[in-house]
Amino acid sequence: MRDIIQATVSPGIYRHWKSGSDDQKFYVVYETALDVETNEPAVICASLYGRHAGHLASRHLTNAEHGFLMPVYKPEYQGQRFRQIVKMDESAVAITRNWILECVRSKGIIEKNEEAFLERVKQMLGTN
């Protein structure tokens, strides 16, 4: 079952559907797992914005209201809840985790501009 879940959502940087041009909402997905209480598939992720930036959290994949994989049907938007913008391998996940912790510790706010943020991620991962 875990292999199926991992094939569905891969580690990387994802953009939330509520992102605006000057208010980007990014998340880093580290891995997939089964929720120990409900046995439902979930992603282990961290927000890259706001007061919870860098804090680990989990989100069920298929929860009807807020599931990671569930589409959004709102008058202002219809589509994916999260869209992957950077795919990462295991070493990149480790580097990113450390970088996020440093940003949070130093109160460095992740760029609100998607292009500037992606440029920093590429520099950090050495993919420029």
Whether the predicted pLDDT of 22 surpasses 70: yes
**CA 11/CA 72 separation, integer angstroms:** 21
Count of H helices and E strands in the chain?
3, 7
**CA 22/CA 20 separation, integer angstroms:** 5
Question: How would residue 34 be classed by pLDDT, with cut points 50, 70 and 90?
Answer: confident
Question: How would residue 80 be classed by pLDDT, with cut points 50, 70 and 90?
Answer: very high
CATH architecture of 2-125: Roll (2.30)
Whether the predicted pLDDT of 127 surpasses 70: no
Q: Whole-prediction pTM value?
A: 0.73
Indicate the domain borders of the chain.
2-125
Q: Strands across the sheet with 56-60, in order?
A: 56-60, 41-47, 26-34, 12-16, 82-87
